[in-house]
Structure 1
Amino acid sequence: MDLRFQSAGFDALNSVATDALVLVLAGGSVPADLDPTVSALIKDAIKLGDFELKAGQSLVLTRPQGLKAHRLVLAGTGTDHVKGARAAAQAAIAQLKSRGAASAAVAFVGYAAEHAEALAEQLALAAADALYTYRHTKPSAAAPSKLARISLLGDKAAMKAAKVGLARGQAIAAGVELARECANRPGNYATPSFLAEQVRALGRSHALKVEVLDQKAIEKLGMGSFLAVAKGSDEPPRFIVARYDGAAKSQAPVVLVGKGITFDSGGISLKPGADMDEMKFDMGGAASVLGTLRAVAELKPKVNLVAIIAACENMPSGRALKPGDVITSMSGQTIEVLNTDAEGRLILCDALTYAERFKPAAVVDVATLTGACVIALGGVRSGMYASCDQLAAELEAAGDQALDPCWRMPLDAEYDDGLKSNFADLANVGSRAGGSITAAKFLQRFASKYRWGHLDIAGTAWKSGAGKGATGRPVGLLTHYVLSQAK
């Protein structure tokens, strides 16, 4: 996608030559200083009842009289918030996806100049989302859209901010698409070895340091908890480490840890058959860490970043982990396994211990960890836990800026009681009550030596139903967080 800024006054939009002129209209009235020809067309559409200045409203006018553009696309927001602008822009571009338009020019009308950078970023993300189609295992998928060039219209005063926003938005969009592509692939394609090759490819294209540990190397490290989950599958596990070095060696890195369960059957604690196909998305945390790594590598901020992905399958077999087994983690802590379907925390705990060697400024793990988080927050906000208020505030701010929001959840010491075991240092599950919290409390036991955050993305990493597919979240949140650490 060729996405660029084009200087143009909103009082002369009739002279913009493009296949489609897209107007994202804030508020409930037509601005007085808008191009009179365009203004007349909008008011006429409103008078005829074909369009309203409300959220969710859009209209395509072909061969609009008095305009050089071949189409005029109107999209209402009902507000002047950036969130509404993104939704309207995405809906408008989706209208053009199956049409013959090869170019579009987008104007955000009625927005304050201070929003120029954010609007530009969200336009890049909206366009990428609207035009994305999964094709890898679907030869019958619709042909790619002809829409190959989008220009963001604005005055010269907004140019600098808009260009910054477009660059950031395109980098995040590339990361989101990589995350979606990985997560959407079926489990027989997206294996632990596949994830390792994706990281290697990214390392080659962006000059990153990449290390992939096989089973023998993982055993040598003493990752007994990770290996206990992996041993039920014929697919070999992979422990993947990638480094982006954008700052001095003396600067402590940010470490992102992704849960990479490429298929989760539940193991011996077998899941119900209904919707089990969606457990190919259980590597959404790993996919988002990979996508964030790409976005950061393209933006080249002055920060050091380490990405860790623990990748394996969770399968039932004669070798598989059993309920009641006691395993020893890399940290030396023993774990009584009460439910083999609580496997994500078992691979993450060893990854969190491994992260200590980097003497990190902060560690954030990302995982499709609990159904309990879906019940608590649905698919709007990711669950966020943090060991300190500053990190929590940074993650929350990053999510708000990226329109990829999270919600802080509690870590009260009293929740530790649910993980008590008579046979090990701790159990891998507690009661159903507060299930997302006790899962986070489990991970916290292995993250005491640094600032630690945890994102439970079980509700936000993918969608079910007719629109089933990976979302690429929280690449936006994570990228904004990493960028904020470079300041």
Structure 2
Amino acid sequence: MKIMQVEVKAGRAESEAAQAIVLLHCEGEGLGKQDAAVIDKGLGGALRELLQTREFEGKPHETLVFHSQGKIPAKRIVLVGLGEKKELTLDAIRQALGYAVKRVRQCKADSFTVIAPQVAPRGHSLTEMAQAMAEGAILGSYQFTAYRSDNSPGKDMAAMTVLTSQKATVRQLTEGVRRGVATAEAATFVRDLCNHPSNVMTPSRIATEAKSIAKEENIALKILEQKDMEQLGMGALLGVARGSQEPPKFIILEYNGARKKDERPVVLVGKTITFDTGGISLKPAENMEHMKADMTGGAEVLASIRAASRLKLPIRLVSILPVAENMPGGKAMKPGDIVKTLAGKTVEVQNTDAEGRLILADGLAYAQRYNPVALIDIATLTGACVVALGQFAIGMFGTDNRLKEQLRKSGFKSGERVWEMPLWDEYFEQLRSDVADMRNIGGRGGGMITAALFLSKFVGNCPWAHIDIASTDWSERERAYVPKGPTGIGTRLLLQYLIDRSL
């Protein structure tokens, strides 16, 4: 998908010659004395009349298109509701722009101007508000058309202009747009990777994507092949990959934008199963096609390091991707098999469909080599997460309170909220094996918790957080800025955390 161009400029709304002008409006509020009022004057009071007759009220998700009939330079006015002013959040603005861009597209326009609110939501800066605006518009315009013979079901949105009447705010708004374009671009990149079918997006193709990202500024790449993994002793990852004709990959990308040479890195580890049949413990056929997105975590750490480079964040960042395909071939790992991990611990595999934690075990153990200041893994790990949290919350576990609080705050800013679950040692009783150090499943009860507890045995003493995105990585319906299918949710959470850490 081609990313729309977003710019900020100072100017007068009533003089803006745009295909459409988007006005964001809070429920129960008047037009005030600023841009909306000036536009309304040019339209002979038409907007005020719409509010008075309650044809438009400013409720959340509400939109209305008004044609100017040549009374002002702009062809159309698109009114978009924000809900009540006292409850206004960054995500309400993000959602409003998502709905706005869809409404503009319905009008057969390919560009628009949005009037920047003069006040940000309580507790947030104009920069953060502009970031949310850019994110909402770009994410809301997303379409995946690579395999359509008719090319596109709707017109691509080419450009958005954020217009402010206050020249003093241009710098803040521009910085916000810069961040918003980078984070939204990262999320759309993840959606694209996960939308490609698994016969295209193989472990080798993931390696090709990593090589492309390594061309970005200050990024270095290392790819371990199967023989390298065998020499290192990555028995868990190799066990998962045994049933597939596709050779596994172990990808390490390093970005260094730090001001200090000896700065410890943040390390991200992403589950990258390019397709998950469940292996010998075969999944049901229904919805198995969704498993092309079981590589979402890996796609997100790939996108995060590219965005960190493009934003020139002053940090060290390492992205690790253990990559494999989980298939039920003649050489496939079987229930009852025992594998030896890179950390030296042995695991009795009682269910081959609990493969994500196995490849992450080797990824997390490898991450210890970097002495990370923070270690975060992200994965479509457990169906239990979907049962526990539904589709609007990301499961979070961790060993470091400061890291968890930082992720919680970044989650609220990004609109990709996390919810902490317990990580208590008592649950490890469910993972005890009669023949190995541990087994890879702990039964039905607390499945999300036992999976996280399994991972915790491979993270050493560094600050660690585990993010389970299995509840949010796929959407059954289209929402404001979330498409049907792969969502890319988790990408902006990671990037917001990295941005906040850099400030």
In 2, Cα distance between equivalents of 1:326 and 1:32: 69
The residue that corresponds to 2:265 in the other structure is 253
Kept in 2, the 8 Å contact 1:213–1:240? The answer is: yes
Contact between 2:368 and 2:460, CA under 8 Å: does it hold in 1?
no
Which residue of 93, 104, 112 maps to 1:85?
Answer: 93
What displacement does 1:465 show? Answer: 5.2
Cα deviation for residue 272 of structure 1 reads 0.4
Q: Which stretch shifts more, 247-256 or 58-67?
A: 58-67
SS of residue matched to 1:77: strand
Moved more, 278-287 or 146-155: 146-155
Alpha-carbon distance in 1 for matches of 2:284, 2:217: 41
Residue 228 in structure 1 maps to residue 239 in structure 2: yes
Which whole-Å CA distance do the structure 2 matches of 1:57 and 1:306 have between them?
42
With normalisation by structure 2, the TM-score equals: 0.93
1:203 to 209, 214, 225: 214
1:242-263 CA-partner distances (Å, limit 9, x unpaired) = 0101113300000000000000
How high is the sequence identity, in percent, across the aligned residues?
A: 38
Aligned to 1:140: 150
**Which amino acid counterpart does residue 7 of structure 2 have in structure 1?**
R
Deviates more, 1:457-466 or 1:341-350: 457-466
Partner of 1:38: 39
Aligned to 1:251, what secondary structure does the other structure show?
Answer: coil
Distance in 1 separating the partners of 2:249 and 2:69: 57
CA distance in 2, matches of 1:455, 1:237: 23
- Asked whether 1:461 is paired with 2:485, we answer no
- Aligned amino acid, residue 26 of structure 1: C
Say if 1:64 and 1:72, in contact at 8 Å, map to a contact too: no
Secondary structure at the aligned position of 1:384 is classed as strand
Distance 1:146 1:424, change over 3 A: closer
- Match of 1:361? 373
Q: Helix, strand or coil: the match of 1:138?
A: coil
Report the more deviating stretch, 298-307 or 156-165.
Answer: 156-165
Q: Displacement of 1:143 after TM fit?
A: 5.8
SS in 2 for 1:418: helix
Aligned counterpart in structure 1 of residue 354 of structure 2, from 325, 342, 353: 342
Q: Is 1:128 aligned with 2:138?
A: yes
Residue number in structure 2 paired with 1:72: 77
Match of 1:178 among 189, 197, 204: 189
Which residue of 1 is the match for residue 412 of structure 2?
400
Secondary structure of 2:271's aligned partner: strand
In 1, Cα distance between the equivalents of 2:64 and 2:470? 35
Query: Which position in structure 2 is the counterpart of 1:218?
Result: 229
Moved over 6 A (4+): none
Alpha-carbon distance in 1 for matches of 2:132, 2:403: 25
Aligned partners of 2:120 and 2:129 also within 8 Å = no
Q: How many residues align?
A: 484
Once the two structures are TM-superposed, the CA of residue 151 in structure 1 deviates from its matched residue by 1.0
Contact 2:218–2:256 (CA under 8 A) maintained in structure 1: no
The offset of 1:115, in angstroms, is 3.8
CA distance in 1, matches of 2:234, 2:300: 23
| Equivalence for 1:99 | 107
Instruction: Compute the displacement of 1:48 (Å).
Output: 4.5
Compute the displacement of 1:141 (Å): 4.0
User: 1:26·1:85 contact (CA, 8 Å) conserved in 2?
Assistant: no
2:26 maps to amino acid = A
Question: Larger deviation: 459-468 or 82-91?
Answer: 459-468
Q: Deviations over 1:76-130 (max 9, x none)?
A: 1113322211111110111112433243110244744854212211111111112
Residue aligning to 1:192: 203
Give the counterpart of 1:326 among 332, 335, 338. Answer: 338
* Aligned-residue RMSD, C-alpha: 1.7
Structure 1 position 153 matched with structure 2 position 163: yes
2:255 aligns with: 244
The answer (yes or no) to whether the contact 2:141–2:156 under 8 Å persists in 1 is: no
The answer to which of 360-369 and 467-476 deviates more is: 467-476
Pair 407,64 (structure 1): closer, same or farther in 2 beyond 3 Å:
farther
* 1:331–1:353 Cα contact (<8 Å) kept: yes
C-alpha separation in 2, matches of 1:110 and 1:304: 35
Q: Which residue pairs with 2:363 in the alignment?
A: 351
User: In structure 2, how many angstroms separate the alpha carbons of the residues matched to 1:105 and 1:313?
Assistant: 45
Q: Distance in 1 between matches of 2:94 and 2:82?
A: 9
8 Å contact kept, 1:25–1:109? no
The answer (yes or no) to whether the contact 2:183–2:495 under 8 Å persists in 1 is yes
Are 2:283 and 1:275 aligned? no
Aligned to 1:57: 62
Alpha-carbon distance between aligned partners in 2 of 1:142 and 1:250, rounded to the nearest angstrom: 49
Deviation for aligned residue 1:51? 1.8
Q: CA deviation at 1:240?
A: 0.4
Cα 1:193–1:187 change in 2 (3 A) is same
* Residue-by-residue CA offset, 1:190-244 (whole Å, 9 max, x unaligned): 1111111101001114441011111111111100011000001011101000010
Aligned partner letter, 2:487: T
Quick check: 1:118 aligned with 2:118? no
6, 10, 14: which one pairs with 1:7?
10
How far apart are the structure 2 equivalents of 1:72 and 1:355?
52
Q: What are the Cα deviations for residues 333-389 of structure 1, in whole angstroms up to 9, with x where unaligned?
A: 110111110000000000110001111111100100001111111111111111110
Q: 8 Å contact 2:195–2:486 — kept in the other structure?
A: yes
CA contact (8 A) 1:361 1:450 kept: yes
**AA at the equivalent of 1:7:** A
How far did 1:429 drift?
0.5
Contact 1:284 1:368 in 2 (8 A): yes
Q: In the aligned structure 2, how far is the partner of 1:411 from the partner of 1:350?
A: 20
Is this contact kept in 1: 2:90–2:413, CA < 8 A? no
1:411 counterpart residue number: 423
Structure 1, 257-266 or 469-478: larger mean CA deviation? 469-478
The residue that corresponds to 1:23 in the other structure is 23
Q: CA deviation at 1:58?
A: 0.3
Q: What letter matches 2:409 in structure 1?
A: A
The AA in structure 2 aligned to 1:43 is R
Q: 1:78 is paired with a residue of what secondary structure?
A: strand
Q: Which moved more, 1:77-86 or 1:256-265?
A: 77-86
SS at structure 1 position matched to 2:295: helix
Equivalence for 2:500: 484
Query: What letter corresponds to residue 477 of structure 1 in structure 2?
Result: L
1:309 aligns with 2:301: no
Structure 2 match to 1:299: 311
Residue 49 of structure 1 and its aligned partner are, at CA, apart by 4.6
Alignment-mate amino acid for residue 54 of structure 1: K
Amino acid across the alignment from 1:220: Q
Code of the residue aligned with 1:474 in structure 2: it is: G
